[in-house]
Amino acid sequence: MSILAKANAKKLLKDLFLDEPGKIDLYAIAGCENIFIEERDLSACEGELVFKDSIGIISVDRKLVEQGQKKFTIAHELGHYFNSGKKNGSYFCSGLDIRGIKQSISAEVDANDFAAELLMPEEWFRSFTKGKRFEKKILSDIAEYFGVSLSAAAMRYAEAGSHPVAIIMSKDGVVKWSRINNYFPFKFIRTGSSVSSSSYAYEFYKGEKISDEVETILADAWFQEDFNYKKDYFLFEQNIPMYRYNAVLTVLWEK
Ligand SMILES: [Zn+2]
């Protein structure tokens, strides 16, 4: 996670005396900076920020139906503004960038880091998840408490959670990136490898309806190349599909 982006979000929360998730009003934060927020139909982007001469506008794609995703998009655009030091600039952000499917442009990753820290501050996140065993419900509890999407909750958990968890982003049947926390028994998934036919995520790429239930799976489906690979080692797998982008965020944790 970008230290600077995280520090920018922390400073903003502190400056505005925001001390609980319910008090974070992105419209008010933007208003204080002379930035207006509108919803309109965007074609190639899910969010945009144009800021020039002390005035700005954030546009959010009207087609976004999920409130958590909309909120994250606005926070992402605010991230560009604060991370740039409030400089004039224009940002046209695709869903691939905002949803973290693609992680190749550092300004986009930094804007996501800012958004994650603003909406799910590390300290609050740790105290909310402390002492709770990881299970399917915890992701929906996090998403509800912080007002974010399930995928944003899962990505944050892989960074700041305390239970052994790995998350894998795949698109078009290929692993794009993975994030594995320190407590997880396996550490290596090859970026660019094909999603294994023995995983549940593979069903999505076969065009089958993907279950939103937790499934039990052998570690072989994801970690055959891992140095610590063990035979007959079972994990839980839950998948969060992103139909519009033919992508899946897979969450794995220890049984
Ligand atoms: Zn962006």
Ligand 1 center from residue 86 Cα (angstroms): 15
125 domain-assigned = no
pLDDT band at 204 (very low <50, low <70, confident <90, very high): very high
Identify whether 154 is part of a domain: no
Residues 110 and 7 placed together within one structural domain of the fold: yes
Q: Residue 1 above 80 pLDDT?
A: no
Query: End of a domain among 86, 120, 154?
Result: 120
**Statement to judge: residues 200 and 253 lie in one domain:** yes
Instruction: Compute the half-sphere exposure of residue 67: CA atoms within 13 Å on the CB side of its CA.
Output: 6
Å from CA of 61 to ligand 1 middle: 13
Count of domains forming the chain: 2
What is the tens place of the pLDDT at every residue in 228-240? Answer: 888 899 999 999 9
What pLDDT, in 10s, does the model give residues 139-154? 999 999 999 999 999 9
| Cα-to-centroid distance, 144 and ligand 1 (Å) | 24
Other CB atoms within 10 A of residue 80 CB: 25
pLDDT score at 212: 82
Residue 73 Cα, ligand 1 centroid: separation in angstroms? Answer: 8
Distance between CA atoms of 186 and 131, rounded to whole angstroms?
22
pLDDT given for residue 178 in this prediction: 95
- pTM, rounded to two decimals: 0.92
For residue 76, what are the domain limits?
3-120
**Claim to verify: residue 114 and residue 168 sit in the same structural domain:** no
Q: Would the pLDDT of 125 be above 80?
A: yes
**188 domain residue, yes or no:** yes
Residues 102 and 175 in one domain: no
Say how many Å lie between the CA of residue 209 and the centre of ligand 1.
Answer: 31
* pLDDT over 90 at 162, yes or no: no
Residue 229 is predicted with a pLDDT of 87
CA of 95 to the centre of ligand 1 (A): 9
Mean pLDDT to the nearest integer, 104-130: 95
Distance 48 CA to ligand 1 centre (A): 7
101 shares its domain with 10? yes
* Beta-strand pair 55-61/35-40: parallel
188 and 116 in one domain? no
Residue 251 domain flag: yes
Distance 106 CA to ligand 1 centre (A): 10
**% of the chain exceeding 90 in pLDDT:** 82
pLDDT at 233: 94
SS (H, E, C) 104-131: CCHHHHHHHHHHHHHHCCHHHHHHHHCC
**Residues 178 and 92 reside in one and the same domain:** no
Q: What's the CA gap between 95 and 33, in Å, rounded?
A: 25
Residue 147 lies in a domain: no
Is position 32 within any domain? yes
Residues 112 and 178 both lie in one domain: no
Q: Distance, CA 206 to ligand 1 centroid (Å)?
A: 31
Closest CA to 79 of 41, 35, 122: 35
CB 7 within 8 A of CB 18: no
The beta-strand segments (E) located in the chain are 35-40, 47-52, 55-61, 89-93, 165-171, 174-180, 215-218, 234-242, 247-254
